[in-house]
Amino acid sequence: MSAALEVEHLTKSFGGLKVVDDVCFTVEEGDFIGLLGPNGAGKSTTIYMMLGLISPSSGKIRMLDRDLGSHRQEILARINFSAPYVAFPARLTTYENLMVFARLYGVHRPAKKIMALMELFDVHHLRDTLVGRLSSGENARVGLCKALLNDPELLLLDEPTAYLDPHVSAMVTATLAALRDHGTTIIYTSHNMREVETLCNRIIFLSRGRVIADGQPLQVTQTVLRDNRSDPALGEVFMRLAGGSTN
């Protein structure tokens, strides 16, 4: 099995603030990775660098056996991304937005693919609704439709269930589990540890821009809670993520 993603000594500074600090990890094909950490840990910045939206201050990223810096267009055609805060053009309908992306990705029989995904994420009734009129949860589901248009080999998901009600969130979790079982490589940020434990075979935990734990969910839990002795605030954050208490 080969690596789908290799991150080597990745660093990003904004002015004098280092938000990603010498991050290194490798993701094998078919892995479902939880990228976790408190707010401001560097998770989203790391994902933005994986997408080529932000240039690293130093370090390298290889995806699908290609260097991101020199093969960005080729790589982006084979991966996809979703986050509930990403806005679509508000004056296009749901279907029109998805069709634009389908054409960009060169999707075969795009109308059929779009309708199948809209059925999957229960937004088919919003086909002719302007995206600007969608709720946050509806917009998040349309984003997930977009993310699966090109059958990505590597899928980056930043808080994909953040604005979803429990029923829809459970449906999305089941869909992601099916993608995992199909062999899609997924990197996933979340503050819902129950989802993480259900889906992820490995967790990379960031704090203050650095990887402080990397391993199976139970191993990472033990490592971070052990470190609570020297960093009570971090232990408290992890217990909140896990839905527990530090008492």
What pLDDT tens digit does each residue of the chain (247 aa) get? 689 999 999 999 998 899 999 999 999 999 999 999 888 899 999 999 999 999 999 999 999 999 999 999 999 999 999 998 888 999 999 999 999 999 999 999 999 999 999 999 999 999 999 999 999 999 999 999 999 999 999 999 999 988 898 889 999 999 999 999 999 999 999 888 788 888 999 999 998 999 998 998 877 877 776 765 555 556 555 555 555 443 3
Cα Dmax for the chain = 56
b/e map of 128-162 (b: 16 or more CB within 10 Å)?
Answer: eebbeebeebbbbbbbbbbbbbbebbbbbbbbbbb
pTM score, two decimals? 0.88
CB-based burial of residue 59 (10 Å sphere; 0-12 exposed, 13-18 middle, 19+ buried)? middle
Q: What are phi and psi of 100, to 5 degrees?
A: -60, -50
Predicted local distance difference test score (pLDDT) of residue 2: 81
Does an H or E element contain 148, and which? none
CB of 60 closer than 8 Å to CB of 69:
yes
Predicted local distance difference test score (pLDDT) of residue 236: 58
Which domains are delineated in the chain? 3-78+152-242 (3.40.50.300)
CB of 161 closer than 8 Å to CB of 198:
no
Residue carrying the six token digits 């604005």: 163
